[in-house]
Amino acid sequence: MSTEQLAGFAAQLRFEHIPDTVVRKAEDLLVDWFGSALAGKGARPVESIVRFAEGMGGGAGPSEILVHRSGASPYLAAMANAAASHVAEQDDVHNGSVFHPATVVFPVALAAAQTLGASGARLLTAAVAGYEVGIRVGEFLGRSHYKVFHTTGTAGTLAAAATAGQLLGLDAAQMRHAFGSAGTQSAGLWEFLRTAADSKQLHTAHAAGAGLMSAWLARDGFTGAAQILEGPQGLAAGMSSDADPARLADGLGTRWATAETSFKFHASCRHTHPAADALLAVMREHRLQPADIAEVVTHVHQGAIDVLGPVVRPATVHQSKFSMGTVLALVARHGQAGLGEFDRHFQDPAVQALRERVRMELDAEVDQAYPRRWIGKVTVRTTDGRVLRGRVDEPKGDPGNTLSREEINAKALRLAEYSGAATAAEMRSALDRLWGIAQAPSVQRLMPAAA
C-alpha cells in the first residue's frame, strides 16, 4: 500500500493544506536553490549538459535555462538547471534521508510551472510534494542503498515525478503510474567519486528529466508499476537490503519533512560539515592556531567513510569537497570552507600538509544517531601535546541552527557573484520576485532573456 499512499498524498496536496511555517520554509529553500543553480554557470560539466540540452531540441521554449538565459522545453530545461544546481555543493540536504531535494525538485517545479503558466502557490505546493516524497523514499531505501547509490539520483526521480505530477494536476492513480515510471528509471552510483568524474551533475539532470518525463507520460495514459518501491521486483528489492516500507507513509500530512531540511553553510559534501563545525568549536574554545594542530581525528558515521573514504589525494576542486582533510584544513586556516576557499586554497602546501594529519574513525554514538542526527565530534592533538575534544550536535544550517533570511539572501548573492551568472541588480530583482512568489498569479522568467 505504501507507494499508493505516497502517490495519493502527492496528488491530493493543496496549498491550503500546508502550514504557514512550511510554506515559509519552502520559500527559503527556493531562494537558497536559486543561488546554487546560478553558481553552476561556467562549471565544465554543467556547461556540457546545458550544451547537450540546447543542441538536442532546446534553445527555444517556454522554460528558462538559468545559466544561459535561454529557453527550452520543460524536459530539457529541467535537466539543464538540475545539472547546474548541484555542482557548487551549496544546495540543501535532508539529514534523515541523506537526500538533496532542491537540486531535483526546483528545476522541475520551475520548468513545469513556466511551461504550464502555473501560479507561484502551485509551484510551492509542487515543491513541497516533491520534498515530502523524495525524503520519504530516501529514508525508505535506507543505509544499505546509500553505500552504493547516490540517493539524490535514485530517490530524485520520484521527487521530480511528484513535483511535475502535482503541477500537471495528476489524480492519485496517474501519480502512482508516474511513480512507477520514475522508479524504474532510478539510477546513480557512487563509483564516479573514485576518479573525481562528473557524474554528480549527470545524476541530478537524469533524475529531473526522468521524473518530469514520467509525470508527462502519466498524464497521457502511460502506466507504471503499482508498487515500484516495495514490490518484490521493485526499487528496494533491487537496490537495498534494509528498506523499511513503513517510512514511505510516515506522518504524511502531519510530519512536514520539508521543514526538516538543512541549508549548507560550507561548500563541501555535507558529511564533512559536522566535523568542520566541531573543529571550529574546539579551535575557538582553546584559541588554537592552525600551526598548533598536530592531528585531528574525526569521529564519524559509516556513511561518511563510504563517501569520503575513497578520496585520498583530491585532484580537482570538486573532489576536494569530498576530502575530509581538505575541508578541515580550510576551516582551520580560513574559518570557513566556502567556494572561494576551495578555488583558491585547496592545493596550498599548508592545506595539503594539514589534510594529511586528519583521519576518520567510525564512532558508535555518531553512527547510531545517523542519519537522523548528524553529530560532529573531533579529537585534536596539539603540537604541545594536549588532547582536546570538540562537539556540535547540530551543524550550522540544520533546522535548530538554521540560516536567517538575511543569510540566505547573502548566500544567493555570493553564489551568483562567484559564477558571474547575474549582476547584483539582476539578483535583487529576481530575489524580490522569489520571496513574493506565493502571491504570483503565474511564474515568470527569473532572469532577463539572453541578448
The only residue of 10, 26, 39, 49 in contact with a second copy, by rule CB under 8 A:
49
Q: Any contact of residue 62 with a second copy (CB under 8 A)?
A: no
First to last CA, the chain: 51
Window 172 to 201, contacts with a second copy (CB under 8 A) = 177, 180-181, 183-199
The only residue of 57, 169, 335, 436 in contact with a second copy, by rule CB under 8 A:
57
Q: Any contact of residue 395 with a second copy (CB under 8 A)?
A: no
231 in Cβ contact with 54 (< 8 Å): no
b/e map 337-376, b = 16+ CB within 10 Å: bbbebbeebbebeebbebbebbebeebeebbeebbebbbb
Number of residues that bind a second copy (CB under 8 A): 66
Considering the complex, state which of residue 213 and residue 427 has its C-beta at the smaller distance from a second copy. Answer: 213
Distances, alpha carbon 238 to alpha carbons 235, 303, 371, 446, in Å: 5, 20, 22, 40
Distance CA 67, CA 47 (A): 9
- Separation of CA 162 from chain center: 16
The only residue of 10, 18, 39, 76 in contact with a second copy, by rule CB under 8 A:
76
Q: Any contact of residue 290 with a second copy (CB under 8 A)?
A: no
Window 221 to 260, contacts with a second copy (CB under 8 A) = 221-228, 231-235, 237-239
Give min distance, CB of 75 to a second copy, in A.
4
The piece of 134-142, 163-171, 208-216, 296-304 that touches a second copy (CB under 8 A) is 208-216
Considering the complex, state which of residue 99 and residue 263 has its C-beta at the smaller distance from a second copy. Answer: 99
214 in Cβ contact with 181 (< 8 Å): yes
Residues 6 or more apart in contact with residue 298 via CB below 8 angstroms: 275, 278, 279, 304, 324, 328, 358, 359, 360, 361, 377, 378
Q: Any contact of residue 305 with a second copy (CB under 8 A)?
A: no
443: DSSP letter: -
Window 133 to 172, contacts with a second copy (CB under 8 A) = 147-149, 153
Give min distance, CB of 48 to a second copy, in A.
4
Distance CA 346, CA 126 (A): 38
Considering the complex, state which of residue 99 and residue 265 has its C-beta at the smaller distance from a second copy. Answer: 99
Distance CA 326, CA 332 (A): 10
For a second copy, the binding residues (CB under 8 A) are 44-45, 48-49, 51-52, 55-58, 61, 72-76, 147-149, 153, 177, 180-181, 183-199, 202-203, 206, 210, 213, 216-217, 220-228, 231-235, 237-239, 306, 310
